[in-house]
Structure 1
């Protein structure tokens, strides 16, 4: 249960300081996992580590404490001011704990081998938990950003792709779905990465249509599937829990089915006739209105939507749309994007 008589009082002070540092850092991470991520599994592990270290925090270490003579007490670093997000705080505190545990391993090895061994076990465990926690933080951030998305741009092949996407992003489009059904995979990957980089520059979500492999290779925020693509549960197992997964639907039955799947958002349509899906009859706005009342998931109306007919959707309270031609075929994609966004944000009549 710890060392009662450390050989060197200076080492005892050092061990005390690093036990405090490790336990405090673990608590910072634990609270984010509890209140931010709501991950009981991570909370349980972190709490166990804290208690195991606490049980080894012997009175002899605490008695050696002397904050008055510690020249390093209270010293800060400018890097601490850059921790502007929970993710940054978690990363910094995981690093802090790992460093403290390494110090405990080195200095307690001869005088308190039980503590040194426990510190090593927890340090290696924290390496893996940190990755899980940071990935979960990314997933939470993506889903929070998704909640604020009102306009999703779905791309179509064009030599001016990057110029048009860039113009839309500068105007405030917050979600881009890369859609390219044909062509060389190497070229598509290169193009997808270029669009991804634009999205990251502007803080927008980047989604890949249909292709899970392309989404993963391009490090996309998620993938969007159609009803005839690979099963949703298979896609989820491939992309993991922290990327977004969207699903196209065309009926109320499919909307209700999506609610039973590990899906983050749905597209519903085509609301109006569209050249992209000429074989599908327009569903009209009534289906959108009905679907919005039965699903809590973000729902994007899609299909033939433009500035001329958008008012039919906003009139029923629809504030999320996905468009292709309204922006990709516009002579001024920036102005087209602004007009759509302004209509979506206007007070409901």
Structure 2
């Protein structure tokens, strides 16, 4: 997931390209402050970049932007538009990700048309001040309760990713573990390798 907090003079485009070079397999554009026109223009540019690497590109929260630019999909939280309503607007051919913190939320999201779940926060994080901690036991229970892919999120780093082994997740979502590093491409590659090793355990 992207975050402007870590730009430090770089462009978001160049940072995203570095993650793609490092092997990122999925990209979510997370913008909280841009106006509609700038958000839309940025999203179109980044989607073209991701498509050149054959990497799916989804918009966080903003269903209207996702529809306007024909994004690959959208990710919504529990306080955003309800998953069933999002699916109705998107149609059947788009990716729908939904955040979940409990088994009940996860099961309902799957019933309402979610293609994958983002579950967390699994470790403390500064990216979401209102995030509720999700234990390893709850993460595992969610994975056991649904048939769609589960992505762990929240405070995941190269050093703690291995602690998620055995939970049943199929991947991780990160911000600072990649965008906050001095060498984004290398950080992405190292985290990808660690994640594959963790999932294989």
Q: TM-score, normalised by structure 1?
A: 0.54
Query: What secondary structure does 1:242 align onto?
Result: coil
1:336 alignment counterpart = 187
Query: What secondary structure does 1:229 align onto?
Result: coil
Deviation at 1:216, TM superposition (A): 1.4
C-alpha RMSD of matched pairs (Å): 1.5
Query: What secondary structure does 1:236 align onto?
Result: helix
Higher relative contact order (CA 8 A, sep 6+): 2
2:163 alignment counterpart = 312
CA-to-aligned-CA distance 1:39-66 (integer Å, 9 cap, x gap): xxxxxxxxxxxxxxxxxxxxxxxxxxxx
CA-to-aligned-CA distance 1:171-199 (integer Å, 9 cap, x gap): 21111000101122111111111110110
Which of 166, 169, 172 is equivalent to 2:17? 166
Larger Rg: 1
User: 1:181-220 counterparts in 2 under 5 A?
Assistant: 181-220=32-71
Which of 103, 109, 124 is equivalent to 1:252? 103
The answer as to 2:6 corresponding to 1:155 is: no
Deviation at 1:316, TM superposition (A): 3.6
The range that moved more, 323-332 or 229-238, is: 229-238
Q: Distance in 1 between matches of 2:146 and 2:60?
A: 22
Deviation at 1:295, TM superposition (A): 0.9
1:346 alignment counterpart = 197
User: 1:221-236 counterparts in 2 under 5 A?
Assistant: 221-236=72-87
* Larger fraction in helix: 1
1:243 alignment counterpart = 94
1:264 alignment counterpart = 115
Kindly tell me the number of residue pairs found equivalent between the two proteins: 196
Query: What secondary structure does 1:182 align onto?
Result: coil
CA-to-aligned-CA distance 1:55-96 (integer Å, 9 cap, x gap): xxxxxxxxxxxxxxxxxxxxxxxxxxxxxxxxxxxxxxxxxx
1:275 alignment counterpart = 126
Contact 1:304 1:323 in 2 (8 A): yes
Which of 143, 149, 152 is equivalent to 1:298? 149
The answer as to 2:27 corresponding to 1:176 is: yes
Q: Distance in 2 between matches of 1:257 and 1:319?
A: 20
Contact 1:273 1:281 in 2 (8 A): no
Q: What are structure 1's unaligned runs of at least 5 residues?
A: 1-153
Deviation at 1:259, TM superposition (A): 2.3
CA-to-aligned-CA distance 1:257-312 (integer Å, 9 cap, x gap): 11221111110000011101223342232221121111110110000001011010
Query: What secondary structure does 1:346 align onto?
Result: helix
Q: Distance in 2 between matches of 1:238 and 1:338?
A: 35
Q: Distance in 1 between matches of 2:184 and 2:136?
A: 25
Which of 156, 174, 183 is equivalent to 1:323? 174
* Larger fraction in strand: 2
Contact 1:270 1:281 in 2 (8 A): yes
Contact 2:143 2:167 in 1 (8 A): no
Q: What are structure 2's unaligned runs of at least 5 residues?
A: none
